[in-house]
Structure 1
Amino acid sequence: MSGLNPCNGFSKFDISKIVAFSEMYPDDFNMNDSGCILGELKIFYHSVKEDDRFLNLDGICHLAQVMVETGKNLSFPLFYRILKLALVLPVSTATVERCFSKMKLIKTDLRNRMGDGYLNNAMVCAVEGETFDEVTNEDVMVRFLAMKGRRGEF
């Protein structure tokens, strides 16, 4: 992802690193795309080096914004797809790491025999804590009563 850096007039822009990055995701880039990426990157690099709108970029997020504003995302769809993948990747990785940290807290030595259903429910409650903070006890009771008839009254 470091090869995508547009800072200092694309001084760290490395086509070989970008091609290697795209090859790590064969589900996102098929064989036809892989053949076209190298050519598209070379054309993109030479076109933005001469464009004043791409001079003072401070990161790949800013590069993506300027690409959309100038319409270059339509001219260079494969590069734009690589750029979007690079922007989304840290967020998805952090979410997975957060889930594993929560699971480590839930599944301890004392609770190592819990079933899959219980573990799944506990994980949802732990990971989506902000959502469950908005649910009141009354909402839970109303939902529980609506499930089926009970013998006793609440």
Structure 2
Amino acid sequence: MLDVTKINLQEIRDEGWDSHMEKVISFMAKYDIEVPSMEGKYVIPKRRLFRGKGLQVSNLHHFRVEVFLSVIDLQLQELDNRFPEISKDLLVCMSCLNPTNRFALFDKAKLIELAKFYPNEFSSSKMIFFNHTLQNFIVGMRKDERFWNLKTLSELSMKLVETGLSKTHDRVYLLLKLVLLLPVATASVERVFSGMTQVKDKLRNSMGDQMFDCLITYLENDLFLNVSMNDIVNRYQNMKTRREQL
């Protein structure tokens, strides 16, 4: 899906301008909006004069290059940033544990590659036997009717625990847990960096204790709402008394 999306965006970038303009002109004609001449000079709105002062470009250049192509380039860049080659490989490998259609996407080679992303949990000595472990796992899953109607990785994880097979196939279950934890860990990191943009200002512009203290209270605000003001004051007074005694 990622590759298809990028190919479609590239095709729109290369060949989609004319069809896009036809839709825009049709929309403007429908609502009696004046269509500017593409050969005319682009007039910068007053509120943007300070940004583009002195630039003389045609309407065609502005709308095609500075708007149409720029937006598509931003989308392509965003896809490349969020899904580099290693992330794409990781997503493909993760999908091989999907239980849909009786594990139709199962691929031992890709799951072995996935396990190599976690050398602390899957050492080189354990990887020697992991191929046989995966073979035993898939044979058991495809013969067990309890696993035939599963749709998601989380359902597979719960069913393995429910049936006690998480202990029988402990290595595969460990890999499954790591796969399920990955989106949560990624989202947590992104949440922290998003929070930094809200907390960071001129007074807190360095990664010191003050910055981390503010980040903790901002990100874990639900937890701190349960802390009363009196508890904070008492804690501060106790700390102050101890410092004076020292």
TM-score (ref. length: structure 1): 0.88
In the alignment, does 2:239 pair up with 1:147? yes
Q: What amino acid is aligned across from residue 15 of structure 1 in structure 2?
A: K
TM-score in terms of structure 2 length: 0.56
- Secondary structure in 1 aligned to 2:120? coil
Distance in 2 between residues matched to 1:114 and 1:81, nearest whole Å: 39
Matched, 1:5 2:98: yes
Equivalents in 2 of 1:28, 1:97: separation in Å? 25
* Cα offset, 1:115, TM superposition: 5.5
Whether 2:212 is the aligned partner of 1:120: answer yes
Q: Which has the larger radius of gyration?
A: 2
Q: Secondary structure of the equivalent of 2:190?
A: helix
Please tell me the residue identity of whatever aligns with 2:232: V
Which residue does the alignment assign to 2:221? 129
Higher relative contact order (CA 8 A, sep 6+): 1
Residues 1-154 of structure 1 mapped to structure 2, 5 A cutoff: 1-108=94-201, 110-111=202-203, 113-114=205-206, 116-149=208-241
Contact preservation (8 Å) 1:33, 1:78? no
Deviation, 1:112, is 5.5
AA in 1 matched with 2:158: Q
Structure 1 CA distance for aligned equivalents of residues 186 and 168 of structure 2: 29
| Residues paired across the two proteins, number | 148
Runs of 4+ in 1 over 6 A off after TM superposition: none
What does the per-residue CA deviation read over 1:52-106, in whole Å, with 9 as the maximum and x for residues that have no partner?
Answer: 1111112111111221222221221111110111111111111111001111222
Change in 2 beyond 3 A, CA 1:113/1:89:
closer
Structure 2: segments with no counterpart, 5+ residues: 1-93, 242-246
Which is worse superposed, 112-121 or 81-90? Answer: 112-121
Cα RMSD (Å) of the superposition? Answer: 1.6
Name structure 1 gaps, 5 residues minimum. Answer: 150-154
How many Å apart are 1:44 and its aligned residue? 0.9
Q: How many angstroms apart in 1 are the aligned matches of 2:181 and 2:132? A: 24
Q: 1:57 to 1:113 in 2, by over 3 A?
A: closer
The CA distance in 2 between the partners of 1:68 and 1:36, in whole Å, is: 22
Give the CA deviation at 1:145. 2.1
Q: Residue 111 of structure 1: SS of its match in structure 2?
A: coil
Higher mean alpha-carbon deviation, 111-120 vs 32-41, is at 111-120
SS in structure 2 of the partner of residue 135 of structure 1: coil
Q: Is the 8 A contact 1:6 1:58 kept in 2?
A: yes
